[in-house]
Amino acid sequence: MKGKMRLILTMLIFGSIGVFVKKIELSSSEIAFLRGVIGSLFLLIASFLVKHKPSYQVLKENALLLLLSGAAIGLNWIFLFESYRYTTISNATISYYFAPIFVMILAPWLLKEKLTSVKVICIIMAMIGLFLIVNPGAGGTSDSQNNTLGIFYGLLAAAFYASVVLMNKFIKNLSGFEITLVQLMAGALVLFPYVLWQGNLDLGRLNSTSIIFILILGIVHTGFAYFLYFTSLQELKGQTIAVLSYIDPISAVIIASIFLSEGMTWIQMIGGGLVLGSTFLSEKLELNVAKKGQTPTTTL
């Protein structure tokens, strides 16, 4: 399978995550923990099969950042899954795509990057788009309150993802595949005591549907999808990756509409277009930075 087709398949897989999560009868922390365990085991087996072994010394040098970023990935998943529970998959996904905006806001302080006028326009566009999504004229009903809470969780997930992107910029001498493998393992390790403390992880109460869906989430949506993603990156240009990554949110909206009968108002669609448009523009800026020899931001 060619690199472009692998990336398209990866984005379609990512776009269907919400539908599967909504069908799993576990808490968000349990789902995130099991996803990390199953996904990291899949990637660990894959690394052995392709005889890919990272240097112990390099892992030791980056240990703190890998542990912190792994914990951030686990929290990112928890808040994203909570977002799915309180609002539509469309709103949750678009809120999650606010991550590049957070990176753009924090980059001048953490990465010493210049905040240009174009970046400021991207941030303003995203803020307006978010306002239109959160407040589509629904009033003060309980549904609108749940929608707002769900979008808030989506933004928290985006914030933690942005922290992972920023921390990855300081991790040295490891490939994207190696970083992801260790981060998934670290995320599962960090989430384990939290899940136990919450008194969860009672797998005996799961029905057969939830068991099948959690296995699909861990194997297909995590291990297999990340393997496809990183192998496709080796063959594609940055511009192609940036464009094809938007199959994820678009497919998420379509899949949610087909299988869950979810919809968006016209005002919310405009807001979503502003958010995704601003993130697309920000990624184009990152690609221009990369052409000057710097590392571009990881795509969602």
| Average pLDDT along the chain, 300 residues, taken 10 residues at a time | 90 95 91 94 88 83 94 95 94 92 89 84 92 66 78 96 93 89 92 82 80 95 92 81 88 91 87 91 69 45
What burial class does residue 179 get, using C-beta atoms within 10 Å of its C-beta: 0-12 exposed, 13-18 middle, 19+ buried?
A: buried
The dihedral sign for the CA sequence 160, 174, 30, 209: positive
Which phi and psi angles does 164 have, rounded to 5°? -65, -45
pTM of the full structure? 0.88
What burial class does residue 72 get, using C-beta atoms within 10 Å of its C-beta: 0-12 exposed, 13-18 middle, 19+ buried?
A: buried
pLDDT at site 20: 95
pLDDT at site 157: 97
Q: Are 211 and 88 in contact (CB under 8 A)?
A: no
Q: Can you tell me the distance from the alpha carbon of 177 to that of 162, in angstroms, rounded to the nearest whole number?
A: 18
pLDDT at site 112: 84
pLDDT at site 291: 56
Tokens of 70: 């792994």
pLDDT at site 263: 80
Q: Can you tell me the distance from the alpha carbon of 214 to that of 269, in angstroms, rounded to the nearest whole number?
A: 30
Q: Are 241 and 233 in contact (CB under 8 A)?
A: yes
pLDDT at site 75: 95
**How far apart, in Å, are the Cα atoms of 99 and each of 85, 93, 166, 203, 228?**
20, 11, 11, 32, 22
pLDDT at site 272: 92
Q: How far apart are the first and last CA of the chain?
A: 22
Q: Report the b/e string of 183-196 with b at 16+ CB within 10 A.
A: bbbbbbbbbeebbe
pLDDT at site 298: 41
The conformational region for residue 90 under phi > 0 = left, psi -120 to 50 = alpha, else beta, is alpha
pLDDT at site 279: 87
pLDDT at site 21: 95
pLDDT at site 247: 92
pLDDT at site 28: 93
